[in-house]
Chains A and B, each alone.
Chain A
Amino acid sequence: MSEALKTLIAACRKGEQPYQALVERVPYAQFLGIRIEARGEELSFVLPKADTNVGNPTLPALHGGAVAGFMEQAALIFLLLEMGEPKLPKTIDFTIDYLRAGLFRDTFAECRVTRLGRRIGNVNIEAWQTRRDEPIAIARAHFLLSDEGA
């Protein structure tokens, strides 16, 4: 991964840079409008409600693709910060179950690393709106942890 990203991660950990800077370097994450709220090293991911993320304007409901992209990005950043010596995670596969309609309101994501190996990381992601125990979607993803390239 690039030196610039390594430096940024180190700066975030020291509190010299907000974690939000990790979102700002990713154009698609910015387009979705993802926000990171940090309490120390505990991060919560927020997808604020936005017209550009609506899939069904009559309900209105969020687009499943926007929710999935948000959850994937949350997992990427979460995994990036879990690693002592960070490697760039690349998505191998992403599987999502939609449990409820994503209504036109803020969405939150929580991540849990199931297994962090040398080459592959497995992350579970839950997205919810009104209550944590009523997820609108659950997802799991595998990431290739790569040394090479950006």
Chain B
Amino acid sequence: MELGIEVTEAEEYRVTAIMPWQARLVGNPDSGILHGGAVFAFLDQVGGLAVATRVYPSFEITPTIDFRLDHLRAPAKGKTVVGVGECYRLTEHVAFIRLTAYEEGQEHDPLATGLATYMRMKISAQNYFGKSKHE
């Protein structure tokens, strides 16, 4: 809600969502370029959605295990960012996701590419994460 993300397409192997430019998501006040962290949060969410559509109609909690994001170029001020997530491999416990971000209408000139893994949790989150050993 805060990032203004909207899912535009959802298929078994591919999810597309948009994140319109917002002043509060800016990282460089002089140029109006979005913060790398905003693009990261957006794509992390898209990655989670890509797992959700792949395992549908089952529902699972899917915390991110790791995520690498390469920033290929800076998004222009005011441009809506499109994020695509593809679950290219699903194993019993782990989902492997490929991510791409581009400006609307510029799908051949990506802004960022990412690679992430997500844990498939069929048990309650509390059981999985446990408690701090000091608590």
Interface residues of A (CB under 8 A from B): 2, 25-32, 52, 56, 58-59, 61, 63-66, 68-70, 72-73, 90-98, 100-101, 130-131, 134, 149-150
Q: Do A52 and B31 form a contact, CB below 8 Å, given A92-B71, A101-B63?
A: no
Most central of A64, A66, A95, A96 by chain B CB within 10 Å: A64
Main secondary structure of the interface of B (DSSP, over half): mixed
Contact indicator B42/A65 (Cβ below 8 Å): yes
Residue in A95, A98, A101, A150 whose CB lies within 8 Å of B125: A101
Give the shortest distance, in Å, between B19 (CB) and chain A (any CB): 11
B132 touches A32 (CB 8 A): no
Cβ contact within 8 Å between A68 and B2: no
What total of A-B pairs shows CB separation below 8 Å?
A: 119
Cross-chain contact of B64 among A30, A64, A66, A90 (Cβ < 8 A) = A64
- Say whether, besides A25-B29, A28-B24, A150-B28, A93 and B70 are in contact (CB < 8 Å): yes
- Sample of 20 A–B contacts (CB below 8 Å): A25-B29, A27-B26, A28-B35, A30-B24, A56-B125, A63-B45, A64-B63, A65-B42, A68-B44, A69-B35, A90-B71, A92-B71, A93-B68, A98-B64, A101-B125, A130-B132, A131-B132, A131-B134, A150-B30, A150-B31
A58–B59 Cα distance when bound, in Å, is 15
B38:A130 contact, CB within 8 angstroms: no
A92 CA / B1 CA spacing, docked (Å): 27
B residues near A (Cβ < 8 Å) are: 2-3, 23-31, 34-38, 40-42, 44-45, 61, 63-71, 74, 125-126, 129, 132-135
Among B44, B70, B135, which residue has the most Cβ atoms of chain A within 10 A?
B44
Inter-chain CA distance A94–B129, complex, in Å, is: 24
B37 x A73 contact (CB < 8 A): yes
Contacts of B37 in A (CB 8 A): 28, 32, 65, 68-70, 72-73
Query: B residues within 8 A CB of A29?
Result: 27, 35
A52-B2, A72-B36, A149-B31 given as contacts; is B26 within 8 A of A98 (CB)?
no
Q: Which of A56, A96, A134, A150 contacts B66 (CB 8 A)?
A: A96
- Note all chain B residues with C-beta closer than 8 A to A59: 125-126
- A26 contact set on B, CB distance < 8 A: 26-29, 35
Q: How far is the CB of A54 from chain B (nearest CB, A)?
A: 10
CA distance A30 to B125 in the complex (A): 30
A68-B27 in contact (CB<8A):
no
**Residue on A nearest B133 in the bound complex, by CB:** A134
How many Å from the CB of B115 to the closest CB on chain A? 9
Residues of B close to A150: CB separation below 8 A: 28, 30-31
